């Protein structure tokens, strides 16, 4: 398998009047062609910011990207000209967003919006693009696509709109789909349908998926590998089976414990004590140390390096070998 | 249902607006074809001066014996032309300034909005008078002067709309699809920002007609074409002995401006998305 996307040491800082918000710190991840990688973290952990930075969609006037490279299909996206980058976006990398209610332009028909990237990137005529739009609507499982194509976003339900978003993102057959919390705004039953759809399309087209989510159930069902981030830093990465079976970082353990609560006797919710630190005042050393039950004095002295447990499983914790037993 | 038909159905719900629209249509047709149907030169002396409305001259004659009906019909052309052209120019320019300021923000916004503020601080009628006093009063210059004093409110409105839309998720999605800023501004945000701008710019037509009338009244209009304001200016000196002379063109202005305002209100109702989906 070949490396499709390789992100190295990517940092995103937002200078504010109260200090620098370090939203993403030295994030590295890699995606092979055709695989699904989950980027897992709580709200505010910097996962969406990371996705936008990969796409080059961070507003450079508001943010600084002091370090990092984003290699995709042989070119460094961080060094491409804006014109060249626009050729990658939408054509080679598709992206879908959290809220399908907001992500479609209310004044255009859905068919027009799906056809837009086809006309722009592939130079299709209006009629050919419309034909493809109907075909794509059919592929994403929208009934009566020939009728739906002329409807407006407000005529569609949330699940259908997310399907339309997926159709738009996949219109040009990208090799990578970045899905930023694609199911968070949807009903539970619709969530499963949308995940099935993404999985099915992935199998059909061979594209890779970068799935950004806080939902461990979604990770388990769809991803092969996962990267767990906490307060902007990567704390653990590995195969999903390893991470769920032998979580090495105390934070990952806490997340899994919290997710398992309903199966436990008494149904008590196990939670991780404390809250995510403000990204303005990140604790020294390990960012999770103040909330960690296993923290030692030396945890706050320096940032713990990523330690390998298995060829494809690593965690950034000093006590990783004791804890991974 | 097709979009234009649907729009007309919503617009028609406002009775006053629908009636006003028909009256405006009539005035526009008069301006376009009236001079062909009633081909009398409004500057030519046709009979005894200061005749009241009667059989020969339906609306009477002015102090120089010119046919007031001919003036009214020919004047409609200039008044409407200047009103529409000035409002159109002001809308296009205001949209351009507002779109750039609202979409890009920061320094561009600051520079463009300070320029806009500069124009807003000067009383617009006075500025128009100064501009025409400096340049020769011609139809083009009057139109340009009115446009120059009318664009700032449009710019501010367009800026507010663009600020409201630029951070919406769909704009982010468009960037993720590889669209350029120009495409996003023109093809994605503009259609969303347009409805309130259309309403304000339709009201601007009324203001422009009034401004033009005011300028003509002061004698700052093209002396070679007749307009309603000019006719009021001519009749002003005989207001006490021949009240109909300024009153007739004044009434024409009143009706036109009133109808434009009511149509603008109807557009507002029809374009308002909150009322739209009922």
pLDDT of residue A267: 61
Give residue for tokens 């996206």: A77
> Looking at chain A, which residue has its C-alpha nearest residue B276?
A154
> Looking at chain B, which residue has its C-alpha nearest residue A105?
B170
The residues in A 198-257 lying below 8 A from B, measured between CB atoms, are: none
pLDDT of residue A310: 85
Residues of chain B with C-beta less than 8 angstroms from the C-beta of A104: 170, 173
pLDDT of residue A141: 87
Let me know: does B260 contact B206? Beta carbons within 8 Å: yes
What single-letter DSSP state applies at residue B24?
H
The rounded mean pLDDT for chain A is 88
Helix axes B68-104, B15-37, angle to 10 degrees: 130
Residue B75, domain extent: 3-276
pLDDT of residue A261: 56
| Beta strand ranges found along chain A (DSSP E) | 3-16, 19-32, 36-40, 69-72, 75-76, 93-96, 176-180, 208-213, 225-230, 233-239, 307-310, 313-315
Rounded mean pLDDT of A139-149?
A: 90
* Each residue's pLDDT tens digit, A129-142: 999 999 999 988 88
Q: Distance (Å) from the C-alpha of residue B73 to the closest C-alpha of chain A? A: 41
What is the C-alpha to C-alpha distance for residues A314 and B10, in angstroms, rounded to an integer? Answer: 63
Chains A, B: CB contacts under 8 A, how many? 69
pLDDT of residue B275: 54
Picking from B132, B82, B75, B87, the residue whose alpha carbon sits closest to that of residue B252 is B75
Segment among A126-130, A195-199, A268-272 with least mean pLDDT:
A268-272
User: Is pLDDT of A324 > 80?
Assistant: no
3-state secondary structure of B175: helix
pLDDT (tens, 9 = 90+) of chain B, 278 residues, equals 467 787 888 888 888 999 999 999 999 999 999 888 888 888 888 888 888 888 888 888 888 888 889 999 999 988 899 999 999 999 999 999 999 999 999 899 999 999 999 999 999 999 999 999 999 889 999 999 999 999 999 999 999 999 999 988 899 889 988 899 999 999 999 998 988 898 899 889 989 999 998 998 888 888 888 889 889 888 888 888 888 889 999 999 999 999 999 998 888 888 765 555 44
A55, A103, A122, A162: best mutation site toward chain B, by most B Cβ within 10 Å? Answer: A103
Q: Do A103 and B191 touch (CB under 8 A)?
A: no
pLDDT of residue A128: 92
- What is the percent of chain A with per-residue pLDDT over 90, rounded to a whole number? 37
DSSP H helices, B54-189, are: 68-104, 106-121, 124-134, 139-166, 169-176, 181-183
Angle at A120 between CA A115 and CA A121, to 5 degrees: 105
For A192, how many CA atoms within 13 A lie in the half-sphere containing its CB? 2
What is the C-alpha to C-alpha distance for residues A259 and A254, in angstroms, rounded to an integer? Answer: 9
The domain that holds B250 is classified in CATH as 1.10.3720.10
User: Is pLDDT of A154 > 60?
Assistant: yes
pLDDT of residue B277: 47
Q: How many domains does chain B have?
A: 1
Residues of chain A with C-beta less than 8 angstroms from the C-beta of B177: 89-90, 94-95, 116-117, 120, 168-169
| b/e code B157-183 from CB counts within 10 Å (16+ = b) | bbbebbbebbebbbbbbbbbbbbeeeb
H or E segment to which residue A83 belongs: helix A82-88
Which of left, alpha, beta for A236 (phi over 0: left; psi -120 to 50: alpha)? beta
- Give the confidence band of A148 by pLDDT, cuts at 50, 70, 90: very high
Picking from A95, A71, A76, A65, the residue whose alpha carbon sits closest to that of residue A6 is A71
User: Is pLDDT of A265 > 60?
Assistant: no
Q: Do B177 and A105 touch (CB under 8 A)?
A: no
**Beta pairing class for A176-180 and A93-96:** parallel
* Each residue's pLDDT tens digit, A196-222: 889 998 998 899 999 999 889 889 989
pLDDT of residue B97: 97
Picking from B161, B170, B179, the residue whose alpha carbon sits closest to that of residue A101 is B170
Alpha-carbon B137 to chain mean position? 19
pLDDT of residue A175: 93
pLDDT of residue B26: 94
Q: Which residues contact B266 (CB under 8 A, 6 or more apart)?
A: B11, B14, B16, B17, B18, B20, B21
Q: Which residues contact A54 (CB under 8 A, 6 or more apart)?
A: A5, A7, A10, A70, A77, A178, A210
What is the C-alpha to C-alpha distance for residues A210 and A225, in angstroms, rounded to an integer? Answer: 10
Rounded mean pLDDT of A280-285?
A: 83
* Each residue's pLDDT tens digit, A64-84: 898 889 999 988 999 999 899
């Amino acid at each position: 398998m070949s490396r499709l996307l390789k992100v190295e040491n990517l940092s995103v800082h937002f200078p504010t009047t109260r200090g620098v918000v370090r939203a993403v710190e030295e994030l590295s991840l890699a995606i092979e062609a055709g695989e699904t990688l989950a980027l897992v973290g709580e709200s505010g952990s910097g996962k969406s910011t990371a996705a936008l930075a990969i796409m080059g969609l961070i507003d450079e006037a508001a943010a600084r990207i002091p370090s990092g490279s984003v290699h995709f299909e042989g070119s460094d996206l961080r060094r491409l000209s804006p014109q060249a980058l626009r050729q990658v976006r939408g054509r080679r990398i598709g992206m879908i967003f959290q809220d399908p209610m907001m992500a479609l332009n209310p004044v255009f028909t859905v068919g027009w919006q799906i056809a837009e990237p086809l006309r722009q990137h592939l130079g299709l005529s209006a009629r050919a693009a419309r034909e493809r739009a109907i075909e794509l609507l059919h592929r994403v499982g929208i009934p009566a696509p020939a009728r739906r194509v002329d409807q407006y976003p407000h005529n569609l339900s949330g699940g259908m709109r997310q399907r339309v978003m997926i159709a738009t993102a996949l219109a040009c057959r990208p090799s990578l789909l970045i899905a930023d919390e694609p199911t968070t705004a949807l009903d539970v039953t619709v969530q499963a349908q949308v995940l099935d759809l993404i999985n099915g399309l992935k199998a059909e087209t061979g594209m890779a998926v970068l799935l950004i989510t806080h939902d461990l159930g979604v990770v388990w069902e769809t991803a092969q590998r996962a990267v767990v981030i906490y307060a902007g830093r990567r704390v653990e990465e590995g195969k999903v089976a390893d991470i769920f079976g032998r979580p090495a970082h105390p934070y990952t353990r806490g997340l899994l414990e919290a997710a398992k609560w309903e199966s436990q006797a008494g149904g008590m919710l196990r939670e991780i004590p404390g809250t995510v630190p403000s990204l303005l005042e990140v604790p020294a050393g390990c960012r999770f140390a103040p909330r960690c039950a296993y923290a030692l004095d030396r945890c706050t002295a320096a940032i713990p390096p990523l330690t390998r447990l298995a060829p494809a499983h690593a965690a950034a914790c000093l006590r990783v070998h004791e804890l991974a037993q | 249902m097709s979009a234009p038909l649907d729009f007309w159905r919503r617009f028609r719900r406002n009775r006053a607006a629908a009636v006003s629209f028909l009256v405006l249509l009539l005035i526009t047709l008069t301006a376009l074809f009236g001079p062909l149907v009633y081909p009398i030169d409004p500057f030519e002396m046709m009979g005894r001066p200061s005749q009241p409305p009667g059989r020969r001259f339906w609306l009477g004659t002015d102090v120089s014996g010119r046919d007031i009906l001919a003036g009214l019909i020919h004047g409609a052309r200039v008044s409407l032309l200047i009103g529409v052209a000035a409002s159109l120019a002001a809308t296009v320019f205001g949209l351009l300034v507002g779109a750039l300021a609202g979409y890009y923000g920061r320094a561009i916004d600051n520079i463009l909005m300070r320029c806009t503020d500069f124009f807003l601080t000067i009383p617009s009628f006075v500025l128009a008078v100064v501009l025409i006093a400096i340049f020769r009063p011609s139809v083009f210059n009057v139109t340009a002067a009115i446009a120059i004093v009318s664009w700032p409110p449009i710019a501010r409105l367009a800026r507010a709309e663009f600020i409201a839309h630029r951070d919406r998720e769909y704009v982010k999605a468009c960037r993720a699809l590889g669209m350029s800023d120009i495409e996003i501004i023109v093809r994605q945000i503009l259609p969303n920002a347009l409805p309130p701008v259309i309403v304000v710019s339709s009201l601007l037509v009324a203001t422009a007609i009034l401004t033009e009338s005011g300028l003509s009244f002061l004698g700052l209009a093209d002396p070679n074409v007749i307009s309603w304001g000019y006719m009021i200016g001519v009749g002003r000196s005989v207001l006490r002995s021949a009240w109909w002379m300024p009153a007739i063109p004044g009434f024409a202005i009143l009706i036109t401006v009133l109808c434009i305002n009511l149509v603008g209100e109807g557009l507002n109702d029809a374009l308002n998305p909150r009322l739209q989906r009922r």
